[in-house]
Structure 1
Amino acid sequence: MTGRITPAAGRYGGRSAGERQAERRRRFQEAGLDLFGAGPGYRATRITDVCKAAGLSTRQFYEEYRTLEDLLAELHLYVNDIAEQSVLAVLPGLEELAPADRYTRLFRAYAAGATADPRHTRIAFVEIIGVSPRLDRQRLDRRARWIDFLSEQARQAAERGEIPSRDYRVTAAAFIGAINGLMHDWAVGWVDATLDQIIDELLQILLDRLHVSPPPTA
């Protein structure tokens, strides 16, 4: 591929070229998570900082990425995938639950996936904002996936007669916007609240817009 350095093939130290490349990429990703998500942030980080944190050379960096933005883009998709997998893991079998319990479990699964690692939270809701048109498009594409998911869940609930029958796409878009805005403000310290308070507030917004009563507290 033009503009990329091709790593050497063959085995070295008992590992294949593919295994060595995967290990380098993992180290760059971990360094990026630390620097973007827990350290100075993407805008204050240089490629040499990532290489130093990863214990690798700039030559090795350019074997994996063209720019530092490429690493941020990869990490943004990675942290979104973690949240998505958390939701999909609990989705099977929830259809039998009352709508309040179903949406509560789905949203809490999302929140757990998105916030279990504070580095993920900062990358997903803070560091990705306003970097470039390319990353804005990537962020909006992922946002659209969540809107599609929520709209489909609402459509199915309406078909079962659990919630009023209407188009819930605007509701889904507004809710995803509320998540992004509130989580950004909480992550940067503009909102003085615990994570549980943030999750409860967002969940109440969702249930209110779906006209679903919250589940009883234990």
Structure 2
Amino acid sequence: MTGRLRAPTGRYAGKTAEQRQAERRARFLDAALEMFGGAPGYRGTTVASLSEAAGLSTRQFYEEFCALEDVLAALHLQVNDWAEAAVVAGVAGAEGLPLAERATAIFRAYAANVTADPRRIRITFVEIVGVSARLEEQRLARRARWIELICREAMAAADRGEAAVRDYRLPATAFIGSVNGLLHDWTAGWVEATLEEAVDELVRQLLGILRPPGWAPEPTPTPGPGAA
């Protein structure tokens, strides 16, 4: 299949072609979340079985996508967008808190979102891996966005005098690896801990990156004589 079939145009049942297309696409993605994120997984799903699960035809599938890989790509981006929106809200809600409380609140917002549905964990950390060079590039690109977010927050903390001034790219990359591994293993039942305990452990790691051994905040200058 070299390209999508042309979707029908015009109004039907009071809905525009664009509205109907958006609904079809959402139904395919909902079905894919269930099948890719559960049983039988991405590699065990066919266009026919996904279309049947969505309650649509294979012709309608090819009006929206060229291949199953396109569905996985769209779903991976959607799951990451949900998590990113939760983190952005967490950042806003933690404004003005001390660093340890702020980091905990932000990270709990992320963890609560991605672990709320085990299917999201599987899409993000399992099914997307090793499918193709294209999806590997997408996976690494989204991972880079998370690294950039950590670096921005870390440098903002450094500017406030709450964290060390350093290049955070390498430690942020290592931290993301810890996050991915621990949350995947926790979801799979391989870690005997509550979600709160897992999050607290990751926050301790993050604070250790922000405040490495030997670091101390600079003392606040004492006003000199005659200072207002």
TM-score (norm 1): 0.91
Q: Partners in 2 of 1:164 and 1:39 — Cα distance? A: 45
Q: Partners in 2 of 1:93 and 1:31 — Cα distance? A: 33
SS in 2 for 1:15: coil
The one-character-per-residue Cα deviations of 1:115-164 (angstroms, maximum 9, x if unpaired) are 21221111111111111111111010011111111111111111111112
Q: How does 1:4-153 map to 2 (within 5 A)?
A: 4-92=4-92, 94-153=94-153
The one-character-per-residue Cα deviations of 1:3-24 (angstroms, maximum 9, x if unpaired) are 2211111111222111111111
Q: Judge which range, 170-179 or 77-86, deviates more.
A: 170-179
1:41 is matched by which residue type in structure 2?
Answer: G
Q: Contact 2:125/2:180 (CA < 8 Å) preserved in 1?
A: yes
Q: Contact 1:125/1:183 (CA < 8 Å) preserved in 2?
A: no
For structure 1, the residue ranges without an aligned partner over 5 or more in a row are: 213-218
Larger Rg: 2
Q: Partners in 2 of 1:3 and 1:139 — Cα distance? A: 23
The one-character-per-residue Cα deviations of 1:26-53 (angstroms, maximum 9, x if unpaired) are 1101100000112211111111110110
Q: Contact 1:126/1:187 (CA < 8 Å) preserved in 2?
A: no
Q: Could you tell me how far 1:198 is from its partner in structure 2?
A: 2.4
SS in 2 for 1:28: helix
Q: Partners in 1 of 2:90 and 2:183 — Cα distance? A: 22
1:156 is matched by which residue type in structure 2?
Answer: A
Percent identity between matched residues is 58
The residue that corresponds to 2:210 in the other structure is 210
2:199 is matched by which residue type in structure 1?
Answer: I
Q: How does 1:182-197 map to 2 (within 5 A)?
A: 182-197=182-197
Q: Could you tell me how far 1:93 is from its partner in structure 2?
A: 5.6
Q: Partners in 2 of 1:194 and 1:88 — Cα distance? A: 24
Q: Could you tell me how far 1:180 is from its partner in structure 2?
A: 1.5
The one-character-per-residue Cα deviations of 1:78-113 (angstroms, maximum 9, x if unpaired) are 000000000111222634111001111111111112
Q: Partners in 2 of 1:17 and 1:211 — Cα distance? A: 54
For structure 2, the residue ranges without an aligned partner over 5 or more in a row are: 213-228
The residue that corresponds to 1:216 in the other structure is none
Q: Partners in 1 of 2:175 and 2:153 — Cα distance? A: 14
2:58 is matched by which residue type in structure 1?
Answer: T
SS in 2 for 1:91: helix
Q: How does 1:157-172 map to 2 (within 5 A)?
A: 157-172=157-172
Q: Partners in 2 of 1:71 and 1:192 — Cα distance? A: 34
Q: Could you tell me how far 1:192 is from its partner in structure 2?
A: 4.0
Q: Partners in 2 of 1:93 and 1:197 — Cα distance? A: 22
**Cα pair distance change 1:191/1:94, threshold 3 Å:** closer
TM-score (norm 2): 0.87
1:3 is matched by which residue type in structure 2?
Answer: G
Q: Contact 2:129/2:136 (CA < 8 Å) preserved in 1?
A: yes
Q: Partners in 1 of 2:197 and 2:92 — Cα distance? A: 27
